[in-house]
């Protein structure tokens, strides 16, 4: 049986591919578990510098929850004996990821699929890919992914999406910074590689601790955030990567990062 999420390694980059092309890479419990497992494995390997999340084929990045009859792992039910929702678990895992997480949106990203894209740090998309939340068309609202959407999508744009169910193209989404880069389909890989290359040559320790700090500060008051920030900055300055960065700058050479 084919795994719902396959992991591919190229140098310092791990690519997680949602491999349910016949189901438009729809999200279910197995897909969520596969993404979480892939992130766990990537973080456990200190030589990994970034993770790319994408879908199989060229039609859909992820079309959201599986609405097909007899779909396995539908996201629209909760076990009364165990109310922990796997979508919530996936969002928490993505939010806690200490590695840069880049969405390579190879096709439409709708409903939960749009939530996955918003849960990534950066997004490179096909310019003709449709992005949106279509739940209102089946009598629902994108409840589980709202925390991620509210961080990324401007409120008026989000309400337009949620109330009408109408998607926008990735090209249109660039103006609102929902997407970082929108390119023709034949340029998607090159643009993704270009973006990743600008990340993996930076300090892995600085990025790891920086993402951790950002996650904490986002939910703090200003006073608490400033107190935490100065603590984090002082500790980051003691790392080997920070010392190497200052030395490389002084010596006018490229830094040799150790990730320590």
Q: Check 135, 227, 244, 251 and give the catalytic one.
A: 135
pLDDT by residue, tens only, the chain of 260 residues: 689 999 999 999 999 999 999 999 999 999 999 999 999 999 999 999 999 999 999 999 999 987 654 445 455 566 655 667 889 999 999 999 999 999 999 999 999 999 999 999 999 999 999 999 999 998 999 999 999 999 999 999 999 999 999 999 999 999 999 999 999 999 999 999 999 999 999 999 999 999 999 999 998 999 999 999 999 999 999 999 999 999 999 999 999 999 99
Question: What's the chain's length in residues?
Answer: 260
Instruction: Determine the Cα–Cα distance for residues 243 and 246; give it in Å rounded to an integer.
Output: 5
Predicted pLDDT at 165 = 96
Q: Which residues contact 150 (CB under 8 A, 6 or more apart)?
A: 158
What SS3 state is found at 14?
strand
Residue 176 Cα distances to 146, 181, 198, angstroms:
17, 11, 22
pLDDT value of residue 67? 62
Contact 90, 69 (CB under 8 A): no
Residue at token pair 């928490």:
92
**Paired strand residues for 181:** 124
Domain boundary assignment for the chain: 5-200, 204-251
User: Looking at residue 1, what is its pLDDT?
Assistant: 61
Tell me what pLDDT residue 69 has: 46
CATH number for region 5-200: 3.90.226.10
Tell me how far apart the alpha carbons of residues 64 and 32 are, in angstroms, rounded to a whole number.
Answer: 12
Q: Annotated catalytic, 135?
A: yes
Task: Write out 95-145 in H/E/C secondary structure.
Answer: HHCCCCEEEEECCEEECHHHHHHHCCCEEEEECCCEEECCHHHHCCCCCCC
What pLDDT score was predicted for residue 85? 83
What single-letter DSSP state applies at residue 49?
-
CA–CA dist 123, 11 (Å, integer): 20
């Amino acid at each position: 049986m084919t795994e719902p999420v396959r992991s591919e390694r190229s140098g310092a980059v791990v690519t997680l591919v949602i491999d349910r092309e016949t189901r438009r890479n729809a999200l279910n419990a197995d897909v969520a578990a596969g993404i979480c497992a892939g992130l766990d494995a990537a973080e456990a390997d200190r030589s990994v510098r970034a993770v790319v999340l994408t879908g199989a084929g060229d039609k859909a990045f992820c079309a959201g929850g599986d609405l097909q009859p007899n779909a396995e792992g539908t996201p629209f039910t909760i076990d009364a004996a165990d109310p922990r929702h796997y979508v919530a678990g996936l969002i928490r895992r993505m939010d806690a990821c200490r590695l840069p997480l880049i969405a390579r949106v190879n096709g439409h990203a709708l409903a939960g699929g749009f939530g996955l894209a918003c849960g990534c740090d950066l997004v490179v998309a096909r310019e003709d890919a449709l992005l949106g939340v279509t739940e209102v068309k089946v009598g629902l609202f994108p409840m589980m992914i709202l925390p991620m959407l509210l961080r990324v999508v401007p409120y008026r744009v989000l309400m337009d999406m949620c109330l009408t169910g109408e998607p926008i193209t990735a090209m249109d989404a660039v103006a609102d910074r929902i997407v970082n880069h929108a390119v023709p389909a034949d340029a998607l890989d090159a643009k993704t590689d270009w973006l990743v290359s600008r990340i993996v040559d930076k300090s892995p320790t600085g990025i790891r601790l920086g993402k951790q700090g950002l996650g904490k500060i986002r939910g703090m008051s200003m006073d608490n955030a400033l107190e935490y920030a100065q603590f984090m900055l002082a500790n980051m300055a003691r790392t080997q990567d920070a010392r190497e960065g200052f030395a490389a700058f002084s010596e006018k050479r490229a830094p040799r990062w150790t990730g320590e």
